Structure 1
Amino acid sequence: MRCPVCSTGGSFSAVERHGRFTVLHCPACDVQFSEPMEAAGDAFYDSHELYAGPEIWYTSTKTLQWDQRMFLRDRPHPGGRLLDVGCGTGYFIAAARADGYHVSGIDLSHGQLEVARRRFGLTDVHALTLDEYAGRVAPASFDVVTAFQVLEHVADPAAFLRKIRTLVAPEGFVAIGVPNWRVWSLLREPLDRPPNHLTRWSARSLHDALTRADFEVVRIREHRSAYGVMMRGLRLGVLRRAMQARSATQEKPAVPGAPGETGAAGTTATRTSAAVLTLAVAKARLLTMVDVPVGMALGAIRAPGCLVYALARARR
């Protein structure tokens, strides 16, 4: 067995077990990885509550993630051609477009891409894997490639970064954001396990992986917060309950024999449903905004999660 990032062989310490999956730690590059390295597959992204129901997900996350904001602060190659791998509902690439970039995006969730097209008028977004997309465009087509909270999902992260390298123009950039396992390992959320997350990263392991993929790391930033991850899990639960409540009021007629949303009683049920949903979304946003940096008291730092952000330049 070899590490999927640095190819080091030998014995690895077992960190966790989840069914047939074992999470191992590589001391050479500091990455944690799954054995076996089997990705969830396309169906997962159109069925799991985090990726399905894109309208409610869009409503609850109308803010840029911390790593995305770091990128827009850096603004490498302004006005250039940008590909976002894992673009989701398109909120980030819409912001990048407003900042002057010429944007494209790929994602495995058909539902979220539909939101990207409808909400933001994004036309160059496609339900393709990175390999599939790379086969349709010329090498060195982009000045910048971004992948925010994507690398942990792929079965071969080293090959994934090498493929990105083929798409980046000379002197172009890659920006990567990943969960930082060294910050929030004690607050592991349910999705941070195989087959959803196949790898867990630190600043050291991400730097190592980018260097091996023929990039020169310009900077690495760490957001050292552990509370946002737990809050994100709570937020998903709040939204799920809100959707269930709305579904229940719409499916059951308020008056026997009458449609659920007609008549005075039906109108009341609809208003109640809308109020529940509005309250849940407001609570979800609050949970997203409230973050507790490690070792500090409760604060309102608008930076959900515990992430490592890296900006790297393609070597000549």
Structure 2
Amino acid sequence: MFNMHESCPLCHSVQIELFHEYPSFSLISCKDCDLVFRPHLDQLNAIEIVTDIYDADWVAMRNQYAKKTFTEHAIFNILLLEMWCPAKGKLLEIGPGTGEMLYLAREAGWQVIGVEPSPASCAYAHDRYGLQLIHSLWDASVLDEELKGSFDAIVFWHVLEHISNPKQYLEELKEFLKPGGKILFSVPNKKSFTNELLGVYSPLYTESDHLFHYSRNNLQSLLQQGAWQVLTIFSREETNRLESHLQKITGLTDLPLTDIMRLSVMLQSAFQGHEIFCIATQQSQNTTMNEQEVNNADEETQADSFHGCEK
């Protein structure tokens, strides 16, 4: 159950309604900004959630699909990193899981550091890839003071939806970026074809550790409120996942490849891909001032128009 007086953590609207009641938790929705989130976020025990879900069985599953993790996720993420940060340098990954992307980044020449809350994942990453991850939930205090202002890039793939206070989290990251450094991240897309197809019983909604469900507009609003400049934002649809969903719905196992590829591209173009990817950097003071000048100019134009109407 949720308190009818609860407000949206993003836009502070009190226009909140129940999204769906699940057996062990509920989701609520903001009518104004379309954000879907868990109620009573300040009362959630993040350590308990991580321990319950990201255990030895989860790591065993990740090990079984390690090749898929590399080919469908880690390599793509490294490509984005290399495109936006070609000079390489120092990389922080928050929530690296079993470490595939961080391993590839290290092999590509990056100096890497990872912070991972799952002890089973930390052990796997060490044994399999020789990675010494910092075992902890994200907290700015887990990194040495000397690391502030040292990272060329900070990445967190499918992590932001697990963070109970995203505004504070994004603010803390600024302390550790170099001037001009970038954040690269992904989140599940609330407007995805997966959610459209499966409704409130989509696996994106039924996973209890997904505290927020973002769409493009409210994600951009979150970043804008934190004075981040969005460099690019796009949605991505994995073709293997799409094919699996279509097979479950239609019962057909021999769907034409061209139809699957065409639908995948259409979904990405319509921003209905399974994931949202975003690359952003801190707004410079000049950017902020220029935006303020534009806002002031807009206000003056509106005022002139108003006085013109009075005449």
Could you say if the C-alpha distance between residues 85 and 220 of structure 1 is closer, same or farther in structure 2, counting changes exceeding 3 Å?
Answer: same
Q: What is the CA–CA distance in structure 1 between the aligned matches of 2:75 and 2:222, rounded to whole Å?
A: 20
Residues 67 and 307, structure 1, Cα contact 8 Å, conserved in 2? no
Shift of 1:224: 4.1
Q: What is the CA–CA distance in structure 1 between the aligned matches of 2:101 and 2:178, rounded to whole Å?
A: 21
In the TM superposition, what whole-angstrom CA distance separates every residue of 1:83-116 from its partner, at most 9, and x where no partner exists? 1110111101111112221111011111111111
Residue aligning to 2:8:
3
1:72 to 59, 79, 84: 79
1:89 to 70, 95, 98: 98
Q: What is the CA–CA distance in structure 1 between the aligned matches of 2:81 and 2:127, rounded to whole Å?
A: 29
Residue aligning to 1:204:
217
Counterparts of residues 202-241 of structure 1 (less than 5 Å): 202-224=215-237, 228=241, 231=244
Residue aligning to 2:163:
154
Shift of 1:308: 0.3
| Unaligned residue ranges in structure 1 (runs of 5+) | 235-290, 298-304
Is residue 135 of structure 2 the alignment partner of residue 130 of structure 1?
Answer: no
Counterparts of residues 1-150 of structure 1 (less than 5 Å): 1-6=6-11, 8-19=12-23, 21-37=25-41, 38-39=43-44, 41-48=46-53, 52-62=57-67, 63-64=69-70, 65-66=72-73, 69-70=76-77, 72-75=79-82, 76-77=84-85, 78-123=87-132, 125-134=133-142, 136-138=144-146, 139-150=148-159
Residues 173 and 313, structure 1, Cα contact 8 Å, conserved in 2? yes
Could you say if the C-alpha distance between residues 211 and 50 of structure 1 is closer, same or farther in structure 2, counting changes exceeding 3 Å?
Answer: farther
Q: Structure 2 length as normaliser, TM-score?
A: 0.70
- Bigger mean CA offset, 27-36 vs 100-109: 27-36
Shift of 1:71: 5.0
Which structure would you say has the larger RCO, counting Cα contacts within 8 Å and 6 or more residues apart? 1
Q: What is the CA–CA distance in structure 1 between the aligned matches of 2:262 and 2:7, rounded to whole Å?
A: 33
In the TM superposition, what whole-angstrom CA distance separates every residue of 1:261-282 from its partner, at most 9, and x where no partner exists? xxxxxxxxxxxxxxxxxxxxxx
Q: Structure 1 length as normaliser, TM-score?
A: 0.69
In the TM superposition, what whole-angstrom CA distance separates every residue of 1:227-278 from its partner, at most 9, and x where no partner exists? 728959x9xxxxxxxxxxxxxxxxxxxxxxxxxxxxxxxxxxxxxxxxxxxx
Residues 7 and 16, structure 2, Cα contact 8 Å, conserved in 1? no
1:308 to 276, 281, 284: 276
Considering fraction of residues, name the structure with more helix: 2
Q: What is the identity, as a one-letter code, of the residue corresponding to 1:119? A: R
Shift of 1:225: 5.9
1:185 to 189, 195, 199: 195
State the secondary structure of the residue aligned to 2:144: coil
Could you say if the C-alpha distance between residues 45 and 230 of structure 1 is closer, same or farther in structure 2, counting changes exceeding 3 Å?
Answer: farther
Could you say if the C-alpha distance between residues 30 and 150 of structure 1 is closer, same or farther in structure 2, counting changes exceeding 3 Å?
Answer: same
Residues 232 and 278, structure 2, Cα contact 8 Å, conserved in 1? yes
Could you say if the C-alpha distance between residues 295 and 39 of structure 1 is closer, same or farther in structure 2, counting changes exceeding 3 Å?
Answer: farther
Residues 78 and 101, structure 2, Cα contact 8 Å, conserved in 1? no
Aligned length: 250
- Bigger mean CA offset, 215-224 vs 57-66: 57-66
Q: What is the identity, as a one-letter code, of the residue corresponding to 1:34? A: R
Q: What is the CA–CA distance in structure 1 between the aligned matches of 2:22 and 2:232, rounded to whole Å?
A: 34
